[in-house]
Amino acid sequence: MIFLKKNKMSKQRTISKSVSLKGVGIHSGNEVNLTFKPAAEDFGYAFCRTDLPGKPIIEADVNYVVSTKRGTTLEKDGVNIQTSEHVLAALVGMEVDNVLIEIDSSEPPIMDGSSKYFVEAIKKAGIKEQSKERSEYIVKDVISYYDEESGSDITIIPSKYYEVTTMVDFGTKILGTQNATMKRLSQFENEFAEARTFSFLHEIEMLLENGLIKGGDLNNAIVYVDKELSEKTMGKLKKAFNKDKISVKSNGILDNLTLHYPNEAARHKLLDVIGDLALIGTRIKGKVIANKPGHYVNTMFGKKLSSIIKNEKRNIAPQVDLTKPPVMDVNQIMKVLPHRPPFLFMDKILEISDSHIIGLKNVTMNEDFFQGHFPEQPIFPGVLQIEAMAQAGGVLILNTVPDPENYLTFFAKIDNAKFKYPVVPGDTLIFKLELLSPLRRGIVHMKGQAFVDGKLTSEAELLAKIIRKTKS
């Protein structure tokens, strides 16, 4: 289970000013201009294609992933962004929450194949704190994704921090088995940002044959030589990389490149994981363990996690301070509602606005219905939970009229009623109701939820109508 929590110790952040950089797209070979721009609170990350009519925007959303071949490609309304992961990893690694990324091509500049230059640009722009608190998802249970075809898997477990561990094994002697671990995001800039992308010689040959990596050179990718370097292959590489001479170093990589770390491949895979999981759209407090990660397994795990998070977010219990005086006590509630004990199921109103209400019901053994529901195992009837929801909704509705004592609310319809967990004596029920549509002609459509100890116990959609009392 995953819980959404406001981090009161941490505010959202954006950059202080716009900053630009340029380079070439690794696959297109075209010059690309990219600009980071400050964005408002809760904006998140989004790409803007300035080279297209209307400057369409593609949000950094895992549900927009359409391809994971040689990078993560996003597409919205026929407009795409390729190899988004290095840019996004830099933003996450620098703990920047809200940025608009303007780009005049379908892919960001590859630079040196790492996040280093994007990090430097963000630092140059400066980072400023915003007023709104960050929200983060705290992982409480183990969540995993396994890809049978590749044997890759990703698991997230509870942790006090956002941690990532990657384990890389491609079954080749030249690369071997590598591991990398990031214990804190603060390590990203100095220990992971400059880890460059890598490829095997046989993959380079295939990409060249398919007209890709037009923007590649020996400075933006580590090439592991996993096969004999024939004269034919040598000729192709010389032409592609505009080099007079190419050789293999003693550590099995093509020349003109020195590894930053012995485990640079594992570090880059960790960078990719951070960039791909940025597409979830929220901060995570948990430890990610990725075994043989790749863009496909990263984003499939991201989609699974995103779905879980969205569901939990919809069903998250309201954060209330029970030590504060209520907005309405039971006597004030009875001035609005016609219900009276033993059929009054609302003890307090804790919050109320034009569109929502939060109410409370203390469940005690003294309730009349416990005598028969059930003997020796008392359970609060589900139908009465719905009735309590309706009473809270009645207060919400009647709060919109100047003379609520002259009106009644009546059920018109109940939809999608679900009961998740039993409610027993001693429980405190928190009810949250929100308008699903504006009040029209005295009819209101509401979504109601009931929680005990942060756990959703019941929910339903309610349709009700306000009717003026008839004079006797």
What is the residue-wise DSSP string for 296-347?
HHHHHHHHHHHHHHHHHHHTPPP---TTSPPSB-HHHHHHH----TTS----
Query: Is residue 268 annotated as a catalytic residue, yes or no?
Result: no
Most confident of 258-262, 371-375, 456-460: 456-460
H-type alpha helices, 131-200: 188-191
Percent of the chain topping pLDDT 70: 93
CB distance 287 to 158 below 8 Å = yes
> Distance (Å, rounded) from C-alpha 359 to C-alpha 101?
43
The answer, yes or no, to whether residue 217 has pLDDT greater than 70, is no
- Residue 203: helix, strand or coil by DSSP? helix
Map out the domains of the chain with their CATH numbers.
2-196+260-314 (3.30.230.20), 330-468 (3.10.129.10)
> Distance (Å, rounded) from C-alpha 335 to C-alpha 323?
23
Task: Scan for tokens 């990893």, then name that residue.
Answer: 89
Most confident of 48-62, 130-144, 167-181: 48-62
Instruction: Report residue 188 CA to chain centroid gap.
Output: 20
Average pLDDT of the residues of the chain: 89
User: Which pLDDT belongs to residue 267?
Assistant: 97
State the pairing for strand pair 443-452/455-468.
Answer: antiparallel
Q: Looking at residues 302-318, what average pLDDT do you find?
A: 86
What is each CA distance from 237 to 113, 208, 256, in whole angstroms? Answer: 18, 9, 13
> Distance (Å, rounded) from C-alpha 77 to C-alpha 98?
23
The answer, yes or no, to whether residue 4 has pLDDT greater than 90, is no
Number of residues assigned to the chain: 472
Catalytic residue, chosen from 295, 339, 356, 445, is 295
The answer, yes or no, to whether residue 260 has pLDDT greater than 60, is yes
Q: Which helix (H) or strand (E) holds 394?
A: helix 382-398
334: tokens are: 């009875």
Q: pLDDT class for 225, splitting at 50, 70, 90? A: confident
Q: Which helix (H) or strand (E) holds 90?
A: helix 85-93
313 or 142: which leads in pLDDT: 142
109: tokens are: 């500049």
End-to-end Cα spacing for the chain: 54
> Distance (Å, rounded) from C-alpha 464 to C-alpha 441?
11
443: tokens are: 């009819």
**Which of 472, 347, 361 is CA-nearest to residue 426?**
361
**Which of 338, 342, 366, 386 is CA-nearest to residue 426?**
366
**Which of 314, 344, 351 is CA-nearest to residue 330?**
344
How many helices (H) and strands (E) would you count in the chain? 9, 24
User: Which pLDDT belongs to residue 201?
Assistant: 76
CB distance 90 to 122 below 8 Å = yes
392 or 26: which leads in pLDDT: 392
CB distance 64 to 80 below 8 Å = no
Query: Is residue 356 annotated as a catalytic residue, yes or no?
Result: no
What is each CA distance from 438 to 234, 254, 401, 416, 428, in whole angstroms? Answer: 69, 65, 14, 20, 30
Residue 155: strand pairing partners: 144, 289
User: Which pLDDT belongs to residue 256?
Assistant: 58
pTM of the full structure: 0.72
What is each CA distance from 58 to 35, 41, 279, 328, 384, in whole angstroms? Answer: 15, 18, 11, 45, 46
The answer, yes or no, to whether residue 316 has pLDDT greater than 60, is yes
Catalytic residue, chosen from 260, 339, 356, 373, is 373
